[in-house]
Amino acid sequence: MKEMNTTIGKPVSRLEGFEKVTGAAKYAADHHVPGLLYGYVVNSTITKGRITKIYTREVSALPGIIEILTHENRMPTAWFDIQYADMDAPSGTVFKPLHDDKIRYNGQPIALVIAESYEQARLGAAKLRVEYDEDTQHATELKGNLERARPPKPGMAFLLKPPPPKPTGDFEKAYEEAAFRAKGEYGHSAEFHNPMELFASTVLYEGKGKLAIYSKTQGTINDQTFVANVFGLKYKNVKVIAPYVGGAFGSGLRPQYQLYLAVMAALQLQRHVRVVLDRSQMFTFGHRPQTLMQMRISADGDGKVTGLNHEGYGETSAYEDYSEILVKWAPMLYPAANTLLKYNLVPLDVATPLDMRAPGGSTAFHAIECTMDQLAYQLNMDPLGLRIKNYSEADPLENKPFTSKELKACYLQGAAKFGWYGRKPEPRSMRRGNKLVGYGMATGMWDAMQMPARVEAKITPDGKLHIKSAITDIGTGTFTVMTQIAAEQFGMAMEDVIFDYGNSKLPFAPIQGGSFSTSTVGVGVVNASKALKKMLLKLAKKVSAEFKNAEVGTVTFVGGEIIYNGHALSFIKLVAANGDKPIHTKNMGYPHALKLRKYAMATHSAAFVEVEVDEDLGVATVTRALTAVAAGRIINPKTARSQILGGMVWGISKALREEALLDPAIGKYVNQNLAEYHLPVHADIKGLDVIFVEEQDQLINELGTKGVGEIGVVAITPAIANAVYHATGKRINDLPIHFDKLL
C-alpha cells in the first residue's frame, strides 16, 4: 500500500524559482508579438493648474511616431464618474488619465506617445512641449497644512477601514492623575513602492473588442473588471494574465495608469500596444502617505496602563479619501479603561496614497511601541516586562477572545534566543570600542483576514490533480503553497499537482494583499478537494462492489488512489470509467462570519534588535535582529520565513534609510530614483533570525492559517528606534533616523 505523502509543513523551495533566476519567466513586458507598438507616458511638470496647449505637430513628424494621445483626442469611455472602480478603491472619484486639462498633482500622466519602437516613443515624449496655466497655491506638505484636517468621508471603504472606536472612560482625567505618563509626536514621510519589476502592460488587440492583457497586477480579475467597465467591453472579451509578478507590496492592488493608457491606445488604434513606466515614473502614483501622530500613555505605579490616546493625521489626494487603520491598535493590544482615538485626513495636491505593506500598522506601531518603551524607562521596568504586565488574552477593544494568541510565547522564546536578559538597562551603558550598543524590542500585530474565493479542482485522464484559481503570486510563494495544500488533501506528490493561476479567466479570487491569500484561496482548495473526494467515492462505488459500504470518513486518498479496506482504485481507472472525461468541481472558500463574529482574529509578533551607533560619526547599524511570530499553522516554513525576513529588511529601511524628499515649493519629490531614494543593500543587512512559535488555531479557518506577509515589518521599526535610544539616550521620533540627529 502506498504511503501518505505529507507536504504541509515542509520547507519546499518555490516551484517557479528556477524560471525566475534563469530568466525563463516572462513578466508583463516580456511578451513580444509582431507589429507591437510602444507607448511612453508624458508626465506633468507642474503640481496644480491647467494645460493650455500641447504642441504635437513637431513630435508627430518624427520617425516612427504613430499617435499622441491627449485629453483632446482620446477615445470616449464608458464611464468616468463611478466611485468604486476597483476592489481597493477608496471613497471619492477615481483618477481619470487624459480626462481633461486639469492638473491635480505633480507627475500626473498627461499624454501618451505611441511609436514603432520604445526608443522612438521615449524620444517623442522628451520632445513634447506643453504649456500650462500654473496655480502656484498648491499644498503638498502634510505638516504645514494641518488646518485642512477633517475626518474621512463615509463610504463603502468604511467596511474594510472603519473609523476609530468611540472614546471610553475619561482619558484626560486619567492622564493627568496618573502616576506615570509618556508622550511623543511621531513623523513619517512618504514611502514609495519600488518593486524590482516596473509597472507594465502589454495589450494584445484580438479584434471586435477582444483584449488579452499581460499586466503587472495583484489582481487579474480586478484589472479585468476595471478595463471592462471603463471601456464598455464585455467581461468575457477581456483577459488579464499575470503568472509572474516581480514584487508589488501593495502597489498593484489598484490598476495603475499604464494599464488604462495601454488599453485605450490598443482600442483606439486597433493594434497591439505596450506601455512600461520607467523608474522615475514609479514615483508618480500611490505611496505610503505622509503621517503625523501624537501618542500619550498613562500607567499606575505597578505599570498597568490606565489610558491610551492615539491621534493621527494622514495625507490624501484632493479627489479621493484614502485612509488607513492607524489608531485602533493600541487598545487592541493593551487593556486600558480610558481611551481617546482620533484620525483625520489632510487633502493635498498629491496622487492618492495606496496601501503599502502593513498599511497603517507599520506606521502606528512606531508610535505605540516607542511610547511604551519610554513609559518602561520612567517606571524603571524592563520594556518586555511592561508588555507582559499588560498582556491580555482577549481583545480589550471589543472584549472578544482571540481565536488564538501566542504572543506571550513570542515574547519569551524571542527574548531567550536573542539574549535579551543580558541587556544592561541604563542607556549608553553598553559599548564595543567606539560603538555604543543598544537593545530594543517591540510588539507587532496584524489582522488575520480571509476573503471569499472560488476554486476548481479536477482529476485528469492521466491521474493528475489540476487546481485552478485566478489568484496572482507576487513573489510570496502562493503557487508553491497552494500546490502543497492540494497535494496534502489527496496524499499526492507535488509533481502530480498542477496549479493554474494568474489569469482572469480562472475561478474568482480577490486581489492578493492584506496577508489573506493563503487562508482565502487555501480554504477554497480544501473545500473543492472535499467535494472532489465525494465525487470520486461516488464513482468508485459504481466501479467496484468493494466500495459499496465506503463513506468519506472511512476511505483514504494516497498517491493517486482511493483506498478502502485494503482495496484500491486509481484515479486513472475512475476517470476512464467516467468516459475519459475529467472529474471536476468548483467550490467556494469563505470566512465563517457567523461563527467568528464572537472572536478577535490576529497575527502577533515580537521583534528584538541590537544596534551599534558610531559615537564619532553617528551612524547606526542593525547588527542583529530576531522576530518571533505566532501565525497559526505554517504551510511552508521556508517561504514563510522569507516573508518575515523581507519584512524585517523593510523595517530596517523604514527606520534608517528610506525617505522621499518633498520640495513643497514645487510640490515634487526630488529623489525619484534608486540612487537617491535610499534602500538597504546587502552590506547593510547583518544577522537576521526568525522563530515561528507553535500556535494551533481550530477556529479561524479550515487550515488554521494566518498571514505572514505584513507581520514581519510591523514591529521591527520601533524595535530599532528603541534600541537606538538604549544605545544613545536619544529618542528620535521622525523617521528615518539620520546620523546628524545622533551626533
- Mean pLDDT split into 10-residue runs, the chain, 743 residues: 77 96 97 97 98 98 98 87 75 91 98 98 98 97 97 82 94 98 97 96 96 98 95 96 96 97 98 98 97 98 98 97 96 97 98 97 98 98 98 94 98 98 97 97 97 98 98 97 98 97 98 96 98 97 94 95 96 96 96 93 98 96 98 98 97 96 96 96 96 97 96 98 98 95 90
SS3 label, residue 373: helix
| Same domain assignment for residues 381 and 415 | yes
| Same domain assignment for residues 366 and 256 | no
Nearest partner of 372 among 425, 320, 295, 431, judged by Cα: 295
Instruction: Say if 621 falls within a structural domain.
Output: yes
| Same domain assignment for residues 551 and 641 | no
Distance CA 86, CA 254 (A): 6
Last residue of a domain, one of 569, 590, 611: 590
Instruction: Say if 7 falls within a structural domain.
Output: no
Which domain, by its residues, includes 118? 31-136+198-248+252-283
Last residue of a domain, one of 590, 621, 639: 590
| Same domain assignment for residues 433 and 479 | no
Distance CA 439, CA 430 (A): 9
Distance CA 333, CA 394 (A): 9
| Same domain assignment for residues 412 and 493 | no
State the CATH number of the domain containing residue 240.
3.90.1170.50
Predicted pLDDT of residue 696: 97
| Same domain assignment for residues 301 and 408 | yes
| Same domain assignment for residues 439 and 456 | no
Predicted pLDDT of residue 160: 80
Cross-strand partners of 423: none
Nearest partner of 408 among 693, 689, 633, 719, judged by Cα: 693
Cross-strand partners of 668: 663
| Same domain assignment for residues 116 and 207 | yes
Contacts of 78 (CB under 8 A, 6+ apart): 229, 230, 231, 232
Instruction: Say if 24 falls within a structural domain.
Output: no
Instruction: Say if 4 falls within a structural domain.
Output: no
State the CATH number of the domain containing residue 516.
3.30.365.10
Instruction: Say if 10 falls within a structural domain.
Output: no
| Same domain assignment for residues 300 and 435 | yes
Pull the grid cell for residue 164: 476609530
- Number of folded domains in the chain? 3
Distance CA 212, CA 224 (A): 10
Pull the grid cell for residue 339: 481611551
Instruction: Say if 231 falls within a structural domain.
Output: yes
Confidence (pTM): 0.96
| Same domain assignment for residues 709 and 668 | yes
Instruction: Say if 329 falls within a structural domain.
Output: yes
Last residue of a domain, one of 233, 262, 283: 283
| Same domain assignment for residues 267 and 292 | no
C-alpha torsion angle, residues 101, 115, 206, 218 (rounded to 10): -60
Predicted pLDDT of residue 2: 61
Contacts of 425 (CB under 8 A, 6+ apart): 380, 382
| Same domain assignment for residues 475 and 444 | no
SS3 label, residue 356: coil
Contacts of 539 (CB under 8 A, 6+ apart): 574, 577, 578, 583
SS3 label, residue 578: coil
**Dihedral angle sign, alpha carbons of residues 380, 384, 387, 393:** negative
